[in-house]
Amino acid sequence: MKHLKGDSVKALCILLILVPYLQAGLIPGVLEVNEQVSRNLNILVIEGEGAINNIRQKAAHDIAVKIEDRNHSPVAGVFVLFSVKRDGAGGSFLDGLEFVQVKTDANGVAVAHGFHSNGLPGAFRIGVTATYQGLTAETSIKQTNAAAPAEDSRTGISNKRLVLIGAVSAAALIGVLVGVRSGSSDFAIAPGKGTVGAPK
C-alpha cells in the first residue's frame, strides 16, 4: 500500500513538473500538433460566387478563392482543385477540361482562368477542394447559365420595337427631305399624332 502511494506521489510530481512545458508546447510532438491545428484550412470565395453566365455569348471569366488558416492568415502553396460536373448546366475551363488544379500564391489566392458556360441553361455548382500537408477543405461556388433578357430591364423596350421605331422615324425624315427638295409650294407638314403598332 505504501509502495503504491509512493508511485502515485512520484507520478504526480513528474506531472506537475511537465505541465509548464506541455502548455508551452516544448514536449516533443506537442509543438507539431499545435502547428497543425493553426493550419486548419478555410476557403474564401473572392470571385465567381452567384455569377450569371450569358449562354448566348459564352464569355470566359475567372474564378478565385483565398485559403486562410484558422488565424485568418493566408496559406501559400496549397493545391486547389476546381471541378464541375459533365452532365446538365455547367461549363469548362481552359482546353475544355471539367477540372483544373491551381497552387495558391504568397497571398493565399488561387485563380482558375478561362471558365465559360457550356450553353445549357440552369443552376450548377463548381466544386473547390484545397489540400495542404494532409489537411483538406471543401466548398462549392454557385453559378447559373441563362440567356440574356430580350428587353432592356431599364426601359422595357424590346430590340424589335426599337428597330421599328427607328424605321418609321427614318421614313418620315426622308419624306420631309424629298418635299423640301421638290420646292413644291403645296407641300406642308400637318401636326398630328403618330402611332406605332406592335411588330407583326
My answer on whether 71 and 158 are in the same domain is no
Q: Is the pLDDT of residue 22 over 90?
A: no
Mean pLDDT of 63-90: 95
Select from 102, 124, 146 the last residue of a domain: 146
Half-sphere exposure of 127 (CA within 13 A, CB side): 12
Report if residue 31 sits inside a domain.
no
In a domain, residue 132? The reply is: yes
Question: Same domain, yes or no, for 119 and 159?
Answer: no
CATH number at residue 127: 2.60.40.10
Residue 40's pLDDT band (cuts 50, 70, 90): confident
pLDDT at 99 over 80: yes
**Number of folded domains that form the chain:** 2
My answer on whether 68 and 165 are in the same domain is no
What is the reported pLDDT for 108?
97
Q: Using the structure block, give the residue that is written with the C-alpha cell 516544448.
A: 26
Segment of 9-18, 62-71, 186-195 carrying the highest mean pLDDT:
62-71
Q: Is the pLDDT confidence value at 199 over 70? A: no
pLDDT of 94 > 50? The answer is: yes
Task: Give yes or no: residues 175 and 142 share one domain.
Answer: no
Q: What percent of the chain has pLDDT over 90?
A: 48
Residue 15 domain flag: no
Average pLDDT over residues 8-13: 57
CB-neighbour burial class of residue 63 (10 A; exposed 0-12, middle 13-18, buried 19+): buried
Q: Are residue 42 and residue 125 in the same domain, yes or no?
A: yes
In a domain, 109, yes or no: yes
Reported confidence tier of residue 58, pLDDT bands at 50, 70, 90: confident
Residue span of the structural domain in which 94 resides? 38-146
Is residue 173 domain-resident? Answer: yes
66-95: average pLDDT: 94
Residues 6 or more apart whose Cβ sits within 8 Å of residue 52: 143, 144, 145, 146
Q: What is the pLDDT of residues 120-134, one digit of tens each?
A: 999 999 999 999 999
Q: 14 pLDDT exceeds 60?
A: no
Question: What pLDDT was estimated at residue 98?
Answer: 95
